[in-house]
Structure 1
Amino acid sequence: MAPKFKDGDAVATVNGKWVAWAHTAVAYTAFFSALVVGMSLHFNKIVQNEHYGYPDEWFPSVSATIGDRYPERSFFQVFIAITSGPRFALVFLWYLVTARPNSTLPKFVAGVGIFRTFTCGGWTYVTSTDDHDWHDIFMISYLVATLPWTIGCLALSPNNRRAVKYRKVLASLFFGTLVPLIYYFIQHKVHKIPGAYTKYAFFEWSLILFDVGFDAVTALDFEAFEIVVKDIKGVSRGKGKPVGNTFGQGFFWSEIFDAAADVYNGFVYWTSWTSLPVLVWYFPLWHMGISGYEVVILSYVAPVLLAIPVLKSLAVKNPRIFHFLSLSGFLAYKVQDPANRLFISTFAVSCSSITFAATLYGDRAQHTRLESRVFAWGLGLILSSIAKFAGKTNNPFWPIMHAENGGWNKLGLLLAILAGVRSFRAPASSGGDYFPSTGKKGSSLLAGLGAGSMIFLMHYLLSDSSTMIAWVWEGYPVRGPLAVPHGALTIFSMGAGLVFGLFYPKVAGSWTAFGVGSLGAAFLTCTSNWSGFYGALTIAFYLMAVSPVLISSAVRHSPAPTFGLAFFVYVFLLLFHVWVVAYAFVPGGPLVREHTDWLMTIAMLFIGAGVFSAAVSRSSGPRTNAISPNGRRARSYYVYVLVALQLLSVSIAYLRFPTNDYTPYHKEEKAVTAGIWTVHFGLDNDMWASERRMRDVIEELEIDVLGLLESDNQRIIMGNRDITQFIAEDLGMYADFGPGPNKHTWGSALLSKFPIVNSTHHLLPSPVGELAPAIHATLDMYGEMVDVVVFHSGQEEDPEDRRLQTEYLSNLMGSSPRPLILLSYLVTKPLEGNYNTYVSELSGMKDIDQTDWDRWCEYILYKKIKRTGYARVSRDSITDTEIQVGKFVIGEPEPENEMMIPEEMVPQGLRFPALFRGQGVRGHRYHVFNEPRYWQ
């Protein structure tokens, strides 16, 4: 008989645990009934993927099982619909269990739970077959919402140790499974390894087990929670006592907002810091040598001004003044004149450097605040790298960006103001020295050397997740990491290193850790492919881990000499890294020509000096490792932010993952449009990032294969950018770039609508002048193997270099038995000098148009392939060099006697676009001949 209540008779009572068990049972039934039915009826079909089938693949993925075929799809959708009832009830009961006065976290978690339920329905009922984009949107939203749901449930867990233990285990398993899941997906999608998709499928099914199992744990909390159905309205009063210190001493929205604001301020610092060299680079780029504007990089050394007592007192006690002045850099995009934009950004960097030094110095007596500052600064670098990961290597808030080329400058400025107001609302610390007069502080000189070198390497290697990947890339077939998705691994390593350095500073600051970091730097510098990338991950981890140690050591000294020296060291190493590649254009350049190994060695030795100084300081410091409750709570909020950032980077990697199913523009005619363009490092004549303008004209010209020269931006002065990422992803093209930035060239790149079967990177003989890069690639064009060579010759001032390079490349082309197209920058006049070696029996190459006398640099040559058209297209203000394009037909013999024909005789699919006739479009038009030329 049902129990009696004073409010009325109970019609039925149900223990709360059955809601959780019902949810678990029906959810598992939905998935595994579909699996059993699918394996029974359509085994061979659901294990088949785009590369392999049975027996190479013998277990289906979740999506193949639940989304493609009847009746398994129906089984899944019916049971998942039934699951929605217990699911909403579970979220509701969890809210009742955890709700308490004056707390919004339970409401937030409940909202997330409802959102996850709806997005689950989205990817369930909109399958990838129905609408791939919306299926992915719902799936990504579900996975992103899993993070706050998991953390929120852990933070609000009632006082039940068994339940908390299971939640931690299942949450760890869920997020840990993402790593092998992504690994095997890449093995399948990129490397096309047989059987990899089956392994991926097992980890995908494991995610289902862990995700549903995590919510099944609520049964342990609901056991003492009874649902009573009465004949009148009643409200259950039973609530569990929350355990506030699961991750810290309670959860407060104000503090999570404080942490987020601090991290964004760190992002503002790194945005300003990384933008200035890009602006400086514009001027020597157009002057072809030192312009005089380079002197503004001394703005980094602005902390030396803190030697002035009045300025030091103002900056330490009122850092908000300099912080808000530094936001002028976010307004620089409003200025059209490049020089004035540079000067505004220079002022912003000066203020930012002063804020950085003064804030850390002012907080040095308060361990928790200092740790939070360093944590936020490190997370700011990670956020900056993620912003570039999402922006395809452009920071959308840089002064080279604006609304027309993808900039989000107004949003960045608004968030910067809000974050600054939030972070600097509290009074600053006095900055009093908390060390006893007899205590050892280490050496100010060594501390400055270490901090400056560390900041340089963080900027040089970590400010973009693809930079070190470019160092180790050696071409096709893929034998190492890719910018997407492996850039997320670089970001993960950075975050792990930062947390390790804050939680285990003694280990991070040890000589053992320094040795491991140095080994990682050596592997990155001296090896390639995966071994080089493992070195990259190691140095990324170490630099982030040692940063709290070196900064904590540096703030023990007066800020003017320590940070002034640190930033002077940064500037010295910045110039060093320019000199090693720009040796032909700078005084004393040949002394350090091609010595990135020297640069890395000196930088690591400087860090070693900083480690030595930190060890002296630590030896005389407090002997306790105790962290206050406030410190633990502050740490937890930054960890929350870090986890969110890591999940964001994984989501970006997923969304940007290449499809590798690209289609040429005129496949019916088996036509190939090939082009060559010297793009001046992706900065246009007015100092704006030019990727979008480049993309538009490339698409409108219908270019299938494109050689890009002067394209290596993976250095500090170029912004650690990669223009091929945006163009290739937007236009659906394969990309190859090389030799890498550690090979000291100005860069060559290849974009192709056709699969790149193999590619080799060459450094041509250059005993005196700048290095000449080349890519020799074999493309699968409509089933026929065709070679494409992208090449940039040396300078006019070095004729012997150019002669040696001509012989090398001509022999290379002559040795190829396949049809070949050369897309090049030759620095020679038609029919004169080295031209007659490039176009000769030695190379076997022909000029696409021998009558075109008005050339000096760009040339398209070919052999064993039918040429049908050639055109020259003006550049407008994108760069200083035109686009040259040629049309070829695959599968037809090269005619012995070609003749020029009018366009009316050319099939439509082999014509160049009419869009560029006459005045053209946006400043691009056919010029020199004022129209394309065609041959039969």
Structure 2
Amino acid sequence: MQPKHRDGDVVAVIPGQWITHAHTIAAYAAFIGAFIVGVNLHYHKIVENEHFGYPIEWFPSVSATIGDRYPERSVFQVFIAICSGPRFLLVFLFYCLVNRPGQTLPKIVAGVGVFRTLTCGGWTYVTSTDDHNWHDIFMISYLVATLPWTLGCLALSPPNPTTIRYRKYLAGAFFGTLVPLIYFFIQHKVHRKPGAYTIYAFFEWTLVLLDVAFDAVTALDFQTFDIVVKDVKGLARGDKKRVQDSFLENEKDKPVGQVFNTRFDWQEMLDAVADVYIGFTFWSILTSLGLLVWYFPLWHMGISGYEVAVMSTISPFLLEIPPLKRLIVGNSTTVYATMGAAGLLSYLVKTPENRLGSVSFGLWQGCLAFASTLQRDRSDAARLEARINAWLIGLIASSIAKFAFWTNNPIWPIMNEQNGGWNKTGVALFTLAIARLYMRNSQIASNGAAQSLGKPAQGSSALAGLGLAGLFFALHSLLSDSSTMILWVWEGFPVRGPLAVPHGAVTIATMGLGLLVGLFYPNLIRTWTAFGVASLGAAFLTGFSNWTGYYGALVLTLYLTAATPMLLSNATRFPPGRTFFLGFMVYNVMVLFHVWVVAYAFVPGGPLVREHTDWVMATTMLLIGCGVFSAIQNNPTSSNLNSSNEKAYSPPPNPAARRQRSYYIYILLTLQLLSMSVAYLRFPSYNYEPYHKDSKVITAGIWTIHFSIDNDMWSSERRMVSLIRETELDVVGLLESDLQRIIMGNRDTTQYLAEELGMWVDYGPGPNKHTWGAALLSKFPIVNSTHHLLPSPVGELAPAIHAVIDAYGELVDVYVFHSGQEEDPEDRRLQSEYLANLMGSSNRPAILLSYLVVKPGEGNYNTYVSEKSGMKDIDASDWDRWCEYILYKGLRRTGYARLSRGTITDTELQVGKFVVGQEEGTGVNIGEELVPDDLRFPALFKGEGVRGHRYHVFDEPRYFA
């Protein structure tokens, strides 16, 4: 028989004072959190008012802190939203406490409490910036309602001397504070007294603290209350089945049922989190090495010798030496600790050479620890699966971190506090993770093997090692950043395929799905059919663009992550030293191979692999195929499965397919939710406007950004944003901008620039087009864009973008172009003719932002600037140029400037100003005093300039009539 309503089972008991504590904590967190964030991010802006700024006013008001700026406004709003639930419960409980039959006052006070809470939501979510009038209406209503609420609480307060005393003191202080508050507000507003607003702000914050403290007193009253939750129909006793119960009963014989039909253990969950963070750290250090190596050939313009650091991954060969193997396997956690110490703390090393050395040693230790850990756990299928899961989910976490931080990993050694790094946080979390691993070591040593992998390995360890090489390279080159394969298939505007945001989250979701398929249906992946489908996906990615190519990318992504458990667990059957040594050695060869297809002009034998990304992809799949062959050898029955029998694809009974596996799935699902949140938060607004729209000005620039690594080996995106914003560029062409290779960190600088500056972006020819990159950023909508690879029979490929922008209602052509190097004159001649014909084929106004490798007035210059192209030099008298040029036609040229590079890159920024819709001027140089303000260049860069950026060559901008 079901229990009666009042006799139900007690499911939960919540002490009444917890409601007050929740309200107090959330309320204080809202205000104090916004204050901390605001002071740290926008201190000078939030202390400034309509009359004075810092240092006259030096303490922010409440309204300026919580309502004026992002993200402090969001911090406040989030915690106030959390506070609303406890707030309504607080009002309800106080009503229950003081209500008496026949009395009206408790109902009135409760009504005032509800009204006051609603008006709080009003002035919280309708800021003064949104609607000043409604914000004030809600705020004034809230303050007015505070008086009857306070007096009502005093009148109805239970006969507890302590609470009555606290309420009297706090209420007296609250209303007493109103007097000086109003006084100093008048001094500021009417009399404009310097510093009065700061004093007013102190009293305003005091009111907030007193207001929350007054309601916090109810914790003493509510000690007499318990909130009791009863189950009146017996569901909590198990009388009724839940959806989960029915599901698990139906799925109990399947892998998913085995995973989730188990109890949850927080200690084991922490172990899984620690393992995943170690995996994340490993991938962070591995993906950072190429960046540091790349710095040196950039500055040497050829082989530097530091490239030998790529061999830091071959350390597992030490496991072939028995005494060292015993020592390393027995102390793998310590080896991991040295990985983190050397790799994560390397950002503190200022000298590029020493920083590279520190990261190289960290990666050496990381690869050694990775191989030795798999060796240690290979006799226990459960623990081995956990290590593999953690390693692969660490890659997914690394990709999500790059997705959230605009393709930079925040704990890379090229990051620091100034350019957006979270290095200290990374070190702290790694320390906690290592501490957790040390705590677990004794348990691992005391537990016996739960399940052996079975009979000894069959076949050659070389095949397993080659399979690892293909796997490592494919995961690193294609999946270490969510935008890499999206840029492979990008073909320009109008958009006909995926975008880095939000579709990067789709790539990440497919990675997670692949891992689940590999865990639950490994025998399905361990087939030549699955490998064949993946090979088709690779072919589609390599050979097609837009959505067709991306669908192939997703198929390949799913297979790579699904095959990871199979290939790694198979490799552990063989001696780890030789197997993982071969895997990492061939992986290193593949890393060089996929760089040489574009760097062929600078390396021995480079022309043999010139422009052969298809060879790289084919080799990768052949290597993985070797691993699949080895895995089938060691599990021969899997190749003869009946595809109609679903259970045949499921793994055999395995302790790993129980509670332990569930923790990694929980982590994976959490990461997927984080990825989706990042995609939502980063989705562009597309409400961009040029800087001087009333004057119809286009300020255009050309900049060779040197792969976004500055002279001191730091990521340079944020410094680039500052300069581009300060020069008020509406359109900017970027060269040497393709970073989507292992050696460059698989990055995309244009994502951060576009989102931070509010600009449309065309990445230009993708990383599979074998160029050093050309990109276009525009405040104006890009109506259409096409990508060109100019004739290059001998030297490096020359990329070009031909974009049509909508500038103030008129279509304007913009060309971004990088010519071939000086050593190949015939290439440069053919390229000049191609581009001249391209520019001459359009009658629209046009701007060329280019890198021409030519002297003014000589040679190919006269092809670019000619009747065929119709283009003119922005300043033909500027003789001191060799690389960067700005040409134009059909626009009124008004100004030209050259800005020194500082330490951001090795090339200056050139800037031109044009007016749309006006005839070309006389070309006569005029003084700045004759130029309208909107057409002038910023005075910021005159003289010594700022941060190493100043007008140079001419020492000041040039203006034209």
Partner of 2:336: 323
- Please say if 1:915 is aligned against 2:940: yes
CA spacing shift, 1:294–1:123, aligned 2, 3 Å: farther
- Please say if 1:600 is aligned against 2:588: no
Aligned 8 A contact 1:363 1:429 in 2: no
Structure 2 residue aligned with 1:697, among 718, 723, 747?
Answer: 723
Q: Secondary structure at the match of 2:439?
A: coil
Partner of 1:334: 348
Q: Which amino acid aligns with 1:300?
A: T
- Please say if 1:446 is aligned against 2:463: yes
Aligned 8 A contact 2:894 2:913 in 1: yes
Deviations 1:80-120 (A, max 9, x none): 99x9799979xx9xxxxxxxxxxxxxxxxxxxxxxxxx99x
In the TM superposition, 1:654-673 aligns within 5 A as 654-673=680-699
In the TM superposition, 1:254-269 aligns within 5 A as 254-269=267-282
CA–CA distance in structure 2, aligned partners of residues 671 and 653 of structure 1: 33
User: Max radius of gyration: which structure?
Assistant: 2
CA spacing shift, 1:237–1:605, aligned 2, 3 Å: same
In the TM superposition, 1:80-159 aligns within 5 A as 126=125
Q: Which amino acid aligns with 1:848?
A: I
Partner of 2:62: none
Partner of 1:711: 737
Provide the TM-score with structure 1 as the length reference. 0.75
Structure 1 residue aligned with 2:926, among 893, 901, 908?
Answer: 901
In the TM superposition, 1:837-916 aligns within 5 A as 837-895=863-921, 897-916=922-941
CA–CA distance in structure 2, aligned partners of residues 126 and 881 of structure 1: 47
Aligned 8 A contact 2:800 2:818 in 1: yes
- Please say if 1:308 is aligned against 2:321: yes
In the TM superposition, 1:349-498 aligns within 5 A as 349-427=363-441, 428=444, 439-498=456-515
- Please say if 1:786 is aligned against 2:812: yes
In the TM superposition, 1:558-569 aligns within 5 A as 558-569=575-586
Aligned 8 A contact 2:632 2:638 in 1: no
CA spacing shift, 1:916–1:234, aligned 2, 3 Å: closer
Structure 2 residue aligned with 1:766, among 787, 792, 797?
Answer: 792
Deviations 1:748-798 (A, max 9, x none): 000000000000000000000000000000000000000000000001000
CA spacing shift, 1:15–1:309, aligned 2, 3 Å: closer
Provide the TM-score with structure 2 as the length reference. 0.73
Deviations 1:668-706 (A, max 9, x none): 111110000001000000000000011001000001100
Q: Which amino acid aligns with 2:872?
A: K
Partner of 2:297: 284
Count how many residue pairs are aligned between Structure 1 and Structure 2.
740
Aligned 8 A contact 2:381 2:654 in 1: no
CA–CA distance in structure 2, aligned partners of residues 443 and 237 of structure 1: 64
Q: Where does the alignment leave 5 or more consecutive residues of structure 1 unmatched?
A: 5-9, 18-79, 93-117, 133-230
Q: Secondary structure at the match of 1:279?
A: helix
CA spacing shift, 1:88–1:612, aligned 2, 3 Å: farther
Question: How much does 1:122 deviate?
Answer: 7.0
Q: Which amino acid aligns with 1:855?
A: R
Partner of 1:33: none
CA–CA distance in structure 2, aligned partners of residues 236 and 495 of structure 1: 38
CA–CA distance in structure 2, aligned partners of residues 414 and 280 of structure 1: 26
4+ residue segments displaced more than 2 Å: 12-17, 83-89, 121-132, 231-239, 241-248, 423-443, 619-631
Aligned 8 A contact 1:786 1:818 in 2: yes
Q: Secondary structure at the match of 1:426?
A: helix
Aligned 8 A contact 1:711 1:748 in 2: yes
Question: How much does 1:429 deviate?
Answer: 5.7
Aligned 8 A contact 1:262 1:376 in 2: yes
Structure 1 residue aligned with 2:360, among 335, 346, 362?
Answer: 346
CA–CA distance in structure 1, aligned partners of residues 126 and 511 of structure 2: 35
Aligned 8 A contact 1:362 1:432 in 2: no
CA–CA distance in structure 2, aligned partners of residues 316 and 448 of structure 1: 19
Aligned 8 A contact 1:249 1:629 in 2: no
Q: Which amino acid aligns with 1:926?
A: Y
Q: Which amino acid aligns with 2:517?
A: F
CA spacing shift, 1:692–1:621, aligned 2, 3 Å: same
Q: RMSD across aligned C-alpha pairs, in angstroms?
A: 3.1
Deviations 1:698-742 (A, max 9, x none): 000001100000000000000000010111100101110121000
Structure 1 residue aligned with 2:288, among 270, 275, 283?
Answer: 275
Partner of 2:677: 651
CA–CA distance in structure 1, aligned partners of residues 271 and 795 of structure 2: 53
Q: Which amino acid aligns with 2:636?
A: S
CA spacing shift, 1:129–1:722, aligned 2, 3 Å: farther
Partner of 1:45: none
CA spacing shift, 1:893–1:815, aligned 2, 3 Å: same
Partner of 1:97: none
Question: How much does 1:129 deviate?
Answer: 12
Question: How much does 1:423 deviate?
Answer: 2.5
CA spacing shift, 1:864–1:237, aligned 2, 3 Å: closer
Question: How much does 1:642 deviate?
Answer: 0.7
Question: How much does 1:627 deviate?
Answer: 3.5
CA spacing shift, 1:813–1:237, aligned 2, 3 Å: closer
Deviations 1:399-458 (A, max 9, x none): 000111111101001101111111342235699998799644332110000011111110
- Please say if 1:830 is aligned against 2:830: no
CA–CA distance in structure 2, aligned partners of residues 234 and 343 of structure 1: 61
Deviations 1:611-636 (A, max 9, x none): 01001112389999343456411111
Question: How much does 1:13 deviate?
Answer: 8.8
Question: How much does 1:131 deviate?
Answer: 5.7
CA–CA distance in structure 2, aligned partners of residues 410 and 930 of structure 1: 42
Partner of 1:49: none
Aligned 8 A contact 1:264 1:380 in 2: yes
Deviations 1:201-248 (A, max 9, x none): xxxxxxxxxxxxxxxxxxxxxxxxxxxxxx998967757247998623
Aligned 8 A contact 2:840 2:868 in 1: yes
Aligned 8 A contact 1:761 1:774 in 2: yes
Aligned 8 A contact 1:442 1:614 in 2: no
Q: Secondary structure at the match of 1:385?
A: helix
Q: Which amino acid aligns with 2:822?
A: E
CA–CA distance in structure 2, aligned partners of residues 811 and 835 of structure 1: 14
| Percentage of matched positions with identical amino acids | 61
CA–CA distance in structure 2, aligned partners of residues 443 and 128 of structure 1: 69
CA–CA distance in structure 2, aligned partners of residues 654 and 460 of structure 1: 26
